[in-house]
């Protein structure tokens, strides 16, 4: 039998190399070494940022929806006109006798009528009358029919253009809606990552911050100096205190920021455009030093967020998803401008 030989021990160099490799492997991330969950304060800041980022596309969505309503009205009008023109043509066809019947119904028309279709109808009719081929009454009817047919063709082209624009507006509105809902989903996911205790802690911290800043969403009666339409608008806004913010909403149970401002002034008989940007462009700019209750306040920029001045350095606004209509100090957000309807 051969001699049993013991395995040769590894060299010192190999031992050192293996040791280094083992050390390196131990430094690789493992599931137990996953990145720590964000703190409650970090979640709060991320959620606030997401809600803020959702405001601009919310206003863009509102603008597209207004355009969509306008286009739908134009499409409906065009279709009504089409139906009217078609009815007029049907009545004219009944008056043009066998010639019109052949021309518009069967397509089997004699050579003289083919000339009418392919050449200059007016010139043909003049010659036909001279030759006695058609009566004055028939000629007038055919001319009217040809004119109505041209109008019908134009109406169809207009309706087609409006329908295309409407489809494009709907697509754009859908994209903006998806963008807003994506931001809100991210915010909800972050909030759901907190434990019940953490969420309670975060809400308590928010309440303390609101109290410190003087914000209020408890129902209240307005007893300030506003008069006339401005008072009506401010009183309406006060009556909405405590109702929830909801993107794209104009009431009566919830509002977004421009939805609240528009509804308040609408209650006073003043019609405002739908979005923050449109309201800013349509209003008369007023200096901060000249603010009066009812004036529209714009924060951050001219298209992101607005509310209404109520006096004493405060404003009422629909803040963001997850919060209710409230009264806040004018400088609770970066003041940008003010306008008067």
Is 147 a residue of the active site? Answer: no
How much is the pLDDT for 115? 46
Look at phi and psi of residue 294 and say left if phi exceeds 0, alpha if psi is from -120 to 50, else beta.
Answer: left
- Round to whole Å and give the CA distance between 78 and 160: 9
Catalytic annotation, pick one of 139, 257, 263, 318: 257
Catalytic annotation, pick one of 65, 176, 305, 314: 305
Domains of the chain, first to last: 40-192 (1.10.287), 214-340 (3.90.1720.10)
Catalytic annotation, pick one of 162, 243, 277, 317: 317
Is 4 a residue of the active site? Answer: no
How much is the pLDDT for 38? 74
8 burial (CB, 10 Å; 0-12 / 13-18 / 19+) is exposed
Helix (H, G, I), strand (E, B) or coil at 63: helix
How much is the pLDDT for 71? 84
Intervals of the chain under pLDDT 70: 1-36, 95-139, 141
Half-sphere exposure of 220 (CA within 13 A, CB side): 13
How much is the pLDDT for 240? 96
- Round to whole Å and give the CA distance between 235 and 251: 15
Is 317 a residue of the active site? Answer: yes
pTM of the model: 0.65
């Amino acid at each position: 039998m051969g001699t049993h030989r013991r395995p040769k021990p590894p060299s010192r160099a190999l031992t050192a190399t293996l040791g280094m490799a083992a050390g390196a492997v131990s430094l690789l991330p493992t599931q137990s070494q996953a990145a720590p969950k964000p703190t409650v304060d970090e979640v709060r800041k991320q959620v606030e940022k997401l809600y803020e980022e959702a405001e601009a596309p919310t206003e863009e969505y509102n603008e597209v929806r207004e355009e969509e309503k306008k286009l739908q009205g134009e499409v409906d009008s065009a279709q009504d006109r089409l139906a009217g023109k078609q009815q007029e043509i049907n009545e004219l066809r009944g008056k043009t006798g066998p010639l019109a019947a052949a021309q518009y119904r069967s397509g089997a028309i004699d050579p003289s009528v083919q000339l009418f279709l392919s050449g200059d109808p007016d010139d043909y009719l003049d010659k036909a009358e001279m030759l006695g081929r058609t009566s004055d009454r028939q000629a007038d009817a055919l001319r009217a029919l040809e004119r109505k047919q041209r109008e019908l063709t134009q109406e169809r082209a207009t309706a087609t253009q409006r329908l295309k624009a409407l489809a494009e507006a709907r697509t754009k509105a859908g994209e903006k809606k998806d963008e807003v809902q994506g931001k809100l989903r991210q915010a909800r996911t972050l909030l759901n990552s907190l434990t019940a205790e953490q969420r309670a802690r975060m809400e308590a911290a928010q309440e303390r911050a609101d109290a410190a800043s003087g914000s209020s969403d408890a129902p209240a009666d307005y007893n300030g100096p506003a008069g006339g339409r401005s008072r009506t608008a401010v009183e309406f806004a006060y009556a909405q205190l405590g109702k929830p913010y909801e993107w794209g909403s104009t009431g009566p149970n919830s509002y977004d920021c421009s939805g609240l401002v528009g509804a308040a002034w609408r209650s006073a008989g003043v019609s405002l455009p739908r979005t923050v940007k449109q309201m800013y462009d349509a209003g008369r700019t007023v200096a901060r030093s000249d603010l009066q209750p009812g004036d529209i306040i714009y924060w951050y920029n001219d298209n992101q967020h607005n509310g209404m001045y109520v006096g004493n350095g405060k404003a009422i606004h629909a803040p963001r998803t997850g919060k209710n209509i409230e009264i806040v100090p004018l400088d609770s957000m970066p003041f940008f401008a003010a306008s008067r309807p």
